[in-house]
Structure formats: structure tokens, C-alpha cells
Structure 1
Amino acid sequence: MSVRVQAWGIIAAVLADSDPSGAAVRQRLSNSLDENPGVPERALLEYLLETRRSDANTVETLDSARKMRLESIAIPPKLAEQIDAIRSMSRISALLDSQMLMTAFQPIYGLAEESVVGVEALSRFVSDDGAAAELWFAEAAAVGLGANLEFSALGSAAAAARDLPKDLYVSLNISPTSCLDPRLPELFEHIDLPISRVVLELTETISDEEYPQFIAAVSPLRDKGLRIAVDDTHPEAGALSRMVHLRPDFLKVGRNVIGDVDKDGIQRAMVACLVDFAGQIGTTLVAEGIETVGELEVLTELGISAGQGYLLGRPSVRPQDWASWNTRLDMDGLKRQLVGPENAGGSTPPKDSL
């Protein structure tokens, strides 16, 4: 159901109320409709905002998600949810229209060569409420605009990548569902970033139902040079079986696998098994979330191909930082800076909120 149809349904329910005590409320809504002819969703939102400003006693909580209800009108819960959805759709639509998002890149190091080989693109939103990126994407997905926001973020990242060193690959986060969208192949026809430098990093597990369609959608693009990364590998047999058939170019493992690998024998054995598995299927293994020199040294010793994390480089929106990523990793400098000359294990560096 479209936003406009939902808005008309809510407006009709409010105006149909015959309670004399709600006359003033209905009049405000009628006035808002007159001021926004043919745009009921805008009329409804402006009415709600005006009601909050001019008569706070008639509103229980307009800003509380899932609890939006006008006391004087007694909107049923289902209508309240529809209002909530409209407000979310309007927020996301406004974000898309204004293109209020930018891209941070985090360096990915080749551990053997100790130099940057690629970057991961991370969306950053210019908003006044400080909402984290994952919250924006979750809100967009909940109201059917998830793919729209993903493709907007992909376009933003591709544009920002023009300022990166030309030899680095660019890992772009995308859901498997959006890979089925016809806008994906069209994207590569309209961006300057060569498809051979692009890695699509899947943010979710591919469902059994989507798997055949996913393979059919990405295979023509992979033939042109596109690469695929599977984020956070799953140990289930079914997932591993699909992974083997998918033949991803990169497998990315996070803190749940590599954390304290220098201190925990089980973690070390698990990483060793994954290194062997990745080698058997011809895939590059990337460790995410490297935080200590000890972890870095053991991961390199075990044969992890590449890594990223706060130890190696924080996400940055500054092109001057990106330009410096052509330099080699200074392991001795990292030890001196982070842990001191006497202790190679070190402590976890503080994380930022970027």
C-alpha cells in the first residue's frame, strides 16, 4: 500500500469521527488538507506537527515510536502504526531527496605485504538525531525503502571512491535481496568506479529461496570482474555448502572468531581451520576487528590474507587520510605507539563513534 493511500485512510478515519470534542482537531486537519492539495501525506504530517506545537495537551507521545496516539481522537493501534510508518517513510524519503549521507572508508591491509589492498565503504548520515547507520537502514527496510537507501549509499560510495588510490578495491555493503534488484547492473553503467575494483559485501545470509535467483543475478556481473565477499561466515553445514557453490572471492570473519586469538587456543584452532577451508575453495580470508598487535601477529602467522580494524586504521571521511593509505604498515611503530617496547601483546585501543 502506498504512502498516499495510507494517509487518505487515516485522514478519512479522523474526519469521520462525530465526537463534538474533536471538532477543533478535525478543523485543523481540514485546514492542512486545504494548504496541501493533492498531497495527503504532507497534510497529515503537518497537521500532526502543528497539533504537537499548538495543543500539547491533546498529544500523548508523537515522538515515541510505536506509541503515537492522539488522546482527543483515540486513534486505534492499527492506525497509530500506519501513522508511524508514514512518518518513517517521510523521514527516509527526505533523506533520499536531500542526499544527506556520506561515505567513510576503512583500510583493509594485506597482512603479508603489510600494505593497504582495499577499503570498506561505510555509510555516515548527516542527521540531527545522531541515529546510527544500521538504524537508518533498518527503518528504511521496515517501510519498504531499504533497497532505495542501499542504492543511494552505493552511489555515494562510488562517487567518493574517485579520491581513493586507484589500485585499491572498494568493498560495498549490500543485502542479498538488493542484489536481485534490476538497478544493480544499471548502477555499474552510471558510475566511474570500474566494476573490476568493486567487491559486493553481503550483509545477510542468502536464504534457500533466494539462492538460485542470486546466482543468476550476480553471475553476469562476476563475468565482468565483480567480486563477492561474504561477511561473518556461519558454521552451519548448509551455509558452508552454499558458500562452496557460491565461491566468494572473500570470506570475512569478525571478533567472534579472531578476538583474543593470541591468547585462546580454541580461537587459534578455529582460525587455522578457516584458513585451510579458504585455501581449499580459493578464497581470500579477511579478519575484521583487529584490535591488538598480538592478534595481528598471530593472524599473520596463521596465514590470514588480509585484515582491518581499529589497530590498522579507523574509518575516515577525509580524502587526505585516504591518500596516505598507499604507505606500508609500520609494525614496529604500532608496537611503540600502542603497547610500548616491553609488551607486544598490548591493550585494546579505544574505539571511536565514527
Structure 2
Amino acid sequence: MSMDETSFPALTDGETTAYRGPQSIPPSDVSDPTIRGQAWNIIESVLDDATPQSEWAREQLRSRMESNPGNPERALLEHLMATRSITGQESDDSEANLPSPDLPVPDEDYGATVLFTRRSRRRIEAILGDRMLLTAFQPIHELSTRDVIGVEALTRFVSDDGASADHWFNEAAAVGLGPDLEFAALQAALVAAEQLPENVYVALNLSPATCLDPRLRAFVEHSRLAMDRLVIELTERLAEDEYDPVVTALAPLRLRGLRVAVDGAGAGFGSMSQVKHLSPDIIKLDRNLIAGIDHAAGQKTLGAAMVEFARQIGADLVAEGIETQAELTAVMDLGMAFGQGYLLGRPSVQPLDWAAWRTAADEEAFTSGSGGPAN
């Protein structure tokens, strides 16, 4: 049994109004739990926002719909890409910098710390209530066979400021809604993943706080995906006192086939301490280790050591962030079996793109270079 779109509690109330998009009408059941269903729901939410500040976003989305009749997924994707270009623009909301009376005001020295404002909380609540997010998948390849064996689920937000996913999650955490937003993203990813081939696993980015949340077990158990297709990829470094609780919380799910991945390995002592305590099934090497590995002797030495370390503890090793043919050749020569990166496949919300990933890899990444992992 799968969690439906209404199983995650909305935090704001709102009235559903008629769709006002040009030249296209949504299907009769816009709650359809597919990528197209997600797209229609988000498009409706954007077009139903009658605030003057969002008029430019509505006009842009209408234009994208006119350019892509009958293809709401492509129209929404183009809208997302366009909105990201204005991330740096300042809001003219006079309340934007007014601190909430019931939240602490951050010190000016915090710099990049997200402002604790009433407006921030309302923004997150609107995302949660309207489900204005969707899932992109980036492929993970078995380098020797060229097969896509897994994907990483990445959240994309629909907003009029084009803010990045990291910004949204940081802002949610700052106002006490971090786990709620992560669970909304998790639900969207689990539903979208039903469109993937059954032999592909799904890596889900979760914070330690969400791993400790009792809701997690119900979310994964109610998914239509087999437990052995699910991988929890920890997105943050754990504090020393978090290791035992996280290990304990995930143990019952791991016994049923769920796997754990540690991200950013090889970037420092903290990442290796995490590997030591969590005994992960998958180790993902940090992008900074992979970038330029083809001509950096020190990185090659560390990469070779990580290959041997992963072999000894029985973990799969994924080279993350492969962007050049030279990097691909280098990691394969070192014996790294799995890889992910723009060279092999970019994140996509399109099921048609998922089907074409292997062809793209054949043409772009494997036409020259190493014949396979070193023995």
C-alpha cells in the first residue's frame, strides 16, 4: 500500500480553485500519484496564487504551458530552470527582515544563517500545504557493465524566488519544520520512484534528526517499493552522541533489507568516523576527491586506499561527481565499481530521460577510456 498525497498533514488551509492554465486542461484526477500528476498539482498551485508578487511567475508558467501543450512535466521543468536564475534578487516584502517575536534573533556574525522570521515559516508551511515540490533522479552506474543500478532522489521546489533545495531545507530547519519538509520530500520521492525499473535502488537523502523520527518507519513500510530497494543516505555529519541512537533506530529496517549510505567520504576525519560507527552498505566518495583525480597523485593514492577499505568492510564504493572522461578513466583504473555525475547522467524529473540514461552513457562516457575496473 502506498501513501497517497493526503497522508502527509497539510499545515495551512486553502481553497481549491479552478485551473486557469492556457490551452491545456489537467486530467480529471489531478491527485494521480505519478510525475504527471505531481506536475499538474504544482502547476495548479502556482496559477491559483493570486498575489501581485507572483504575477510574473504565473505569466512565465502560462508561457511555458503554451510552448509545451499536453506536456505539463516539461513546462514545469522549464519554469523551474527559469526561476532559478533570479535566486539572488531581493524580496520587496516589508516584513522579510522582521524577526518573529517567539523565535531567537540570530547574531549578525552568523552571516549565512537563515533569518528566523514569520515570513520564513509561512513560506515553508505553504510548500507543505500545497505540495509545491517534485523529485528528480540522478542515475548511479555500474561502471564495468554500463548499467544504471540505482538513483539518488533530489528534491526540486517550485517558488517565485528560485531558491535552491539546500536553502529550503536550511530555512525549514531554522524555523523548526526541518523533519516535516524532509518527510514531504520523502513521500514525493517514494511515489515518483514507482515509475523506475524494479531493479533500480533509490537513495533518499535524510538528516540524522529525520532518521530518529518515529514517522520514518511508517513511511518506508507503507511504500510500494521493496525494502531492499531503499537506501538512506545521511546528509549531515553526526554528533558523537547521535551515533548510537541512529544505529538503533535504523537497525530494524536494515534487518528487513534497507541499506545505509554515507556521503562525502574521503573529505576528512569526520566522514571516516561516520563510516566507522555506522558500518554503511554504501560509501560515496566526496566530489572534492574525484575532481581532478586523473592528474593528482595524492588523490589517486587516497582513492586506491578507499577502494581497499571498502572491500575489507564489504561496502559498495560510489565515485560521486564524475564530470570528465579523464576522471571516469581514472576511477575505473583504480577499481571503483560504481559512479555518479554529470558525465554519466544529469538529474531529471522526466521518465523518458530515465529510460534513455544507459544510451547516453554509452555515447558520451564509454566510447573511449578504460576497459573496466582494475583487478
Say which is worse superposed, 259-268 or 95-104, in terms of deviation. Answer: 259-268
Superposed displacement of residue 111, structure 1: 1.1
* 1:221-240 deviation digits (Å, cap 9, x = unpaired): 00010000000015655653
Alignment of 1:169-208 (within 5 A): 169-208=201-240
What's the counterpart of residue 138 of structure 2?
106
Q: 1:136 to 1:265 in 2, by over 3 A?
A: same
Alignment of 1:152-163 (within 5 A): 152-163=184-195
The 3-state SS of whatever aligns with 1:121 is strand
The 3-state SS of whatever aligns with 2:260 is strand
Moved over 3 A (4+): 60-65, 75-81, 234-239, 325-329, 333-336
CA distance in 1 between partners of 2:217 and 2:209 (Å)? 14
Alignment of 1:1-354 (within 5 A): 62-63=93-94, 65=96, 67-68=97-98, 85-233=117-265, 237=269, 239-325=271-357, 329-330=361-362, 333-334=364-365
CA distance in 1 between partners of 2:163 and 2:270 (Å)? 35
The answer to whether the Cα contact below 8 Å between 1:162 and 1:193 also exists between their aligned partners in 2 is yes
Equivalent residue pairs, number: 273
Superposed displacement of residue 87, structure 1: 1.3
The answer to whether the Cα contact below 8 Å between 2:345 and 2:357 also exists between their aligned partners in 1 is no
For 1:334, the aligned partner's letter is A
Unaligned runs of 5+ in 2: 1-52, 54-90, 107-114, 371-375
The answer to whether the Cα contact below 8 Å between 1:285 and 1:304 also exists between their aligned partners in 2 is yes
Q: 1:293 to 1:274 in 2, by over 3 A?
A: same
CA distance in 1 between partners of 2:325 and 2:213 (Å)? 41
The 3-state SS of whatever aligns with 1:312 is coil
The 3-state SS of whatever aligns with 1:177 is helix
The 3-state SS of whatever aligns with 1:225 is coil
The answer to whether the Cα contact below 8 Å between 1:115 and 1:328 also exists between their aligned partners in 2 is no
The answer to whether the Cα contact below 8 Å between 1:165 and 1:322 also exists between their aligned partners in 2 is no
The answer to whether the Cα contact below 8 Å between 1:114 and 1:328 also exists between their aligned partners in 2 is no
The 3-state SS of whatever aligns with 2:241 is coil
For 1:97, the aligned partner's letter is G
* 1:211-230 deviation digits (Å, cap 9, x = unpaired): 11111100000001000000
* 1:132-183 deviation digits (Å, cap 9, x = unpaired): 0000000000000000000000000000001111100000000011100000
For 2:330, the aligned partner's letter is V
For 2:145, the aligned partner's letter is E
CA distance in 2 between partners of 1:78 and 1:174 (Å)? 25
Query: How well do the aligned residues superpose, as a CA RMSD in angstroms?
Result: 2.8
TM value normalised by structure 1:
0.71
CA distance in 1 between partners of 2:273 and 2:166 (Å)? 29
CA distance in 2 between partners of 1:328 and 1:195 (Å)? 29
The answer to whether the Cα contact below 8 Å between 2:207 and 2:234 also exists between their aligned partners in 1 is yes
Structure of larger gyration radius:
1
Unaligned runs of 5+ in 1: 1-48, 50-59, 70-74, 346-354
For 1:103, the aligned partner's letter is T
What's the counterpart of residue 61 of structure 2?
none
CA distance in 2 between partners of 1:63 and 1:285 (Å)? 49
The answer to whether the Cα contact below 8 Å between 2:201 and 2:230 also exists between their aligned partners in 1 is yes
Q: 1:238 to 1:292 in 2, by over 3 A?
A: closer
The answer to whether the Cα contact below 8 Å between 2:285 and 2:319 also exists between their aligned partners in 1 is yes
Superposed displacement of residue 77, structure 1: 12
The answer to whether the Cα contact below 8 Å between 2:243 and 2:277 also exists between their aligned partners in 1 is no
* 1:65-115 deviation digits (Å, cap 9, x = unpaired): 5x338xxxxx9998988x952211111011101000000000000112221
Superposed displacement of residue 266, structure 1: 1.0
The answer to whether the Cα contact below 8 Å between 2:228 and 2:256 also exists between their aligned partners in 1 is yes
